[in-house]
Structure 1
C-alpha cells in the first residue's frame, strides 16, 4: 500500500525534506542530547552533506521500506524535527524513530509525530509498531507513554556505542487493537518534582547523584543500591525505573542547605493491590533521626495520595536506628521474621516487619 509523501495530523505536518530544512537538520545532528542517545551520530556533518542526504538518501530509503519524513508546523511549515517508520511487510510490523530540533522541544512535537506515524502504519495494515529507547533517555520514554505505547522488554547490548561499548534498550509497543490512549505511569511523579516540609526535602535520584549515593551507602551498597562503579549506571537509570513503576529511589536532603542526609526507596509498587514496600539504604545519623521520621512520613503521605492503601517495611533486629525512624513515622510492628535478611558469609539475620495504614499515620500525626 502506498505511503503519502505529505500529510497533516493533529499538531504536526509530515512531509518530504527540503533544502530550507538544512539548518534545522544540522541543529539536530549537532545537539549533545541527539549525539548522546543516537548511535552513530557524531555531529560532524556539514551543510553540503545534509543537502545531499535531503536530495538523495532521504527518499531512496522508501524503496527499502523505511519512510522518512520531516516534521513541520502545520500552520507555518517551519521544520521541527525528523521521523521515520520502518516497515517489515512480512510480519506486518514497524518501528518508529524520531528526533526533535532543540528549539522545538517541550512542545509535544515528538508525541504528535509518533502518533501520526503509528496511525499511518496501522491504517496501512500494520498490526504492531515498536519504539526503542535507551534506559537513560527518560524524555523519550515519556513520549512513548504519551503516544499510547506500552513498556514491553529490555534488550541487552542492543545498540552499538563508542569504544566497543553497547547500550541496553527498552522496547515499547503499540498494537493496532490498542486504543492509543496515553498510558499513565504506574508510579506517578512527585508534585513539582520534590516533597518538602521545610526541614527535609525528598527528590528522585538521577544522573549525577552517584557521589552523593556512594557517600550515604558506602562501598558495599545495599537495599538495591549496588557497590562501586555500578552506582553511576544505577543512578542514571533510576528515573526510568520510577517511570516503569519498578522502584522510586529518593534522596533525603537537609532542606535549608540541600545536603544529602539519607536515601529511601519505595519498592514493589502494586497499584492493583494498593501495596508498596518502604526501604532505606541510609537513614540520617543519630542526631537527625527525627529528620528520618519526617522524610518517611512525607513519602508515606505522598504514596497514600498516589493510591497506596498499605505500606510495609522491614528492619533488621539489630537496626535500632531504622526501627526508631519507622516508629516515629507511625509504622506499627507486625511481628518477628526469623532468618529473614542475608548477611555476609552466608548468615541470615532476624528482622521485624512493620506496616503503615493511613489510619495509623493519622493517629501518629
Structure 2
C-alpha cells in the first residue's frame, strides 16, 4: 500500500528514501532507542536502508518524519491494516529529537489520516516496560486494552506486550 505524504505544523511526513538512511541510522543504530523494538539495533547504514526500503507485498506503510526547519529525518511512522478498518501503528524517534513533542505531533497526524481513510480502530502494541510510549498513547486518548504475557521474543529476551486502542468516535474527544 502506498504511503502518501502528509504534514503537521512542524513536520513533513513522506515515504522514506535511501537518502534518509544516514539520519535514520541515528535512531535505528542507537541501543537506547531500540531497547523496546522487536529487532536489535542496526549495525550499519546499509541495514537501515534495507529496513526502510519498501518491498513488494509489504503489509505496512512506512513514512519518514522530517523536521521542516532543519530538513532532517528524525524518525519513522508505520501503519498496517490488520483487519478491515483496524490499523496497527508504530513509531520511532531519534534520541536527539525526543522531548520536543515531535512524536505526539507525528502520531496525531497519522491518526487523523487513518481515520480520514475510514479506519474504525487504531491500536498500538508496546513493550510493557516502555513507559514513554505508553505515556504518549495515553496522552492521545488511547485506552489500555490488555496485557499479552510473554508475547514477543526480542533481542532483550521474551517480553510482555500491552495493547492500546483508540476508536474513531473517541478521537479528539479525549
TM-score between both structures, scaled by the size of structure 1: 0.44
1:171 aligned partner: 163
Match of 1:73 in 2: 67
State the 4+ residue runs in structure 1 displaced beyond 4 angstroms: none
* Residue correspondence of structure 1 range 233-252 to structure 2 within 5 A: none
- 1:59 equivalent among 38, 54, 58: 54
- SS of aligned partner of 1:37: coil
Give 1:5's aligned residue: 4
| CA displacement at 1:5 relative to structure 2 | 2.4
* Structure 1 counterpart of 2:150: 157
The 8 Å contact of residues 3 and 15 in structure 2, kept in 1 or not, is answered as: no
Alignment check: 8 A CA contact 2:18 2:49 kept: yes
Name the count of aligned residue pairs. Answer: 174
Match of 2:110 in 1: 117
**Unpaired segments ≥5 residues, structure 1:** 183-365
Give RMSD over aligned pairs: 2.1
1:106, distance to aligned residue in structure 2 (A): 0.4
* Contact 1:132-1:172 within 8 A present in 2 as well: yes
Partner of 2:18: 19
Alpha-carbon shift at residue 136 of structure 1 (Å): 1.2
Give the C-alpha shift of residue 85 in structure 1.
0.6
1:16: how far off? 1.7
Q: Which has the higher contact order (CA 8 A, sep 6+)?
A: 2
User: More displaced, 92-101 or 24-33?
Assistant: 24-33
For residue 50 of structure 1, the aligned residue among 48, 51, 58 is 48
Give the deviation of 1:4 after TM superposition. 4.9
Q: Residue 33 of structure 2 contacts residue 95 of structure 2 at CA under 8 Å; is this kept in 1? A: no
Structure 1 contact 131–173 (Cα < 8 Å) conserved: yes
Partner of 2:32: helix, strand, or coil? helix
Q: 1:210-229 counterparts in 2 under 5 A?
A: none
Where in structure 2 are there 5+ consecutive unaligned residues? none
Please list, as runs of the form range in 1=range in 2, the aligned pairs for 1:56-205 lying within 5 A after superposition. Answer: 58-60=53-55, 63-88=57-82, 90-162=83-155, 165-182=157-174
**Cα deviations across residues 23-46 of structure 1 (Å, max 9, x unaligned)?**
2221112212233101222332x1
Q: Sort the Cα spacing of 1:4 and 1:23 in 2 relative to 1 into closer, same or farther, 3 A.
A: closer
In 2: Cα distance, 1:181 partner to 1:73 partner: 28
Give the TM-score normalised by the residue count of structure 2. 0.88
